[in-house]
Amino acid sequence: MGIVITAAATAAPTDLANPTDQASPTAPATSASAVDLAGRAARSCLDSARVSPSGVGVLVNVGVYREHNTFEPAVSALVQKEVGINLDYLADPQPAAGFSFDLMNGACGVLSAVQTAQALLATGTTERLLITAADVHPGGNASHDPDYPYADLAGAVLLERAADPGTGFGPVRHYGADRPTDVEGYLDLDTMGSSGRSGITVRRTPQHETRTGELAAAAVASYAEEFGLDLTRTLLIGPRVPLDPAAPPGTGGEPHTAAPILGYVRALEAGVRPADYDGILFVTAGAGPSAACASYRPQGW
């Protein structure tokens, strides 16, 4: 039984997505919140699907970087409250509704969540599963830290069982490399001092982009060989999706956990058609070093 994307959406801080929304050039920048951005993306996703929050059985949050480096309580619970999913069990006693949890697997988090969704939806544990992914600078605005490589961005996808068994996600596969990781994000306890909640250390070795790209390419080749994909007829949605396609290469932060969702939304906006491709292949790669792949055939293809 296939698992399909019913709707998808992204959200970015207002001042980054729409600079003209600011009252004046000197107006303070909006402080980004992973919970707020994930909530906005989720509500937009549910609105597109015409599904109420009470119709979501399980919410999985896969974001890594959060404001104030929040780790407890689970960010998924905060997103669940922000979206309004089954907040009162007595007033809205939906069976198997309102369950949420965090699943952190770096840049591969969305595909790990898809793998979890396949198990939960296929067994009838829930009718709908919502994935949210959001990363923001711990200090509240990534644009204020030139050394921080990621963009403040969130995405959400709503998954359901497919009526057509020939559509939806194929198996999710994970791949690794036998070498030290090129990317690390951590709290440096020796230097954080009193500002630990507003800072983060992200270490990326020279040539990390080349090695990450090589790992992603090897993962795609292995997946295509295992499942017999014709890559000339497959739309690849990779880990390097520019936040602003019009911006010069190398400028601004890059999407992190929400990159696959952003790539999928961009593909829909570009009007990708069955006549152009037989299907989609999601590929993610990041710290570990690790990569993940999953094929996807939308409904109607």
Write a three-state SS string for 153-190: EEEEEEEEECCCCCCEEEEEEEEECCCCCCEEEECCCC
Q: What's the CA gap between 65 and 199, in Å, rounded?
A: 10
pLDDT for the residue numbered 98:
64
Asked if 29 contacts 142 with a C-beta cutoff of 8 angstroms, the reply is: no
| Strand duo 183-186 + 201-204: pairing | antiparallel
pLDDT for the residue numbered 251:
53
Q: What's the CA gap between 106 and 86, in Å, rounded?
A: 28
Q: How would you class 295 by CB atoms within 10 Å of its CB: exposed for 0-12, middle for 13-18, buried for 19 or more?
A: buried
List Cβ neighbours of 108 (8 Å cut-off, separation of 6 or more): 174, 284, 285, 286, 288, 290, 291, 292
pLDDT for the residue numbered 91:
63
In terms of DSSP H, where are the helices of 201-281?
208-227, 259-269
pLDDT for the residue numbered 252:
60
Q: How many residues does the chain have?
A: 301
Greatest CA span in the chain, whole angstroms?
A: 57
Q: In terms of CATH, what superfamily is 3-297?
A: Thiolase/Chalcone synthase (3.40.47.10)
Q: How would you class 144 by CB atoms within 10 Å of its CB: exposed for 0-12, middle for 13-18, buried for 19 or more?
A: exposed
pLDDT for the residue numbered 271:
87
pLDDT for the residue numbered 137:
85
List Cβ neighbours of 154 (8 Å cut-off, separation of 6 or more): 10, 11, 12, 34, 37, 38, 40, 41, 63, 132, 133, 134, 135, 258
Q: Give the other-Cβ count within 10 Å of 300's Cβ.
A: 8
Tokens of residue 79, six digits? 């997103």
Q: What's the CA gap between 36 and 12, in Å, rounded?
A: 10
Provide block-wise average pLDDT over 10 residues at a time, the chain (301 residues): 92 58 38 90 97 93 84 88 83 64 93 96 91 88 78 95 89 91 76 68 82 92 97 92 67 84 94 88 92 93 77
Q: What's the CA gap between 217 and 212, in Å, rounded?
A: 9
Report field, pTM of the whole predicted structure over 0.85 = yes
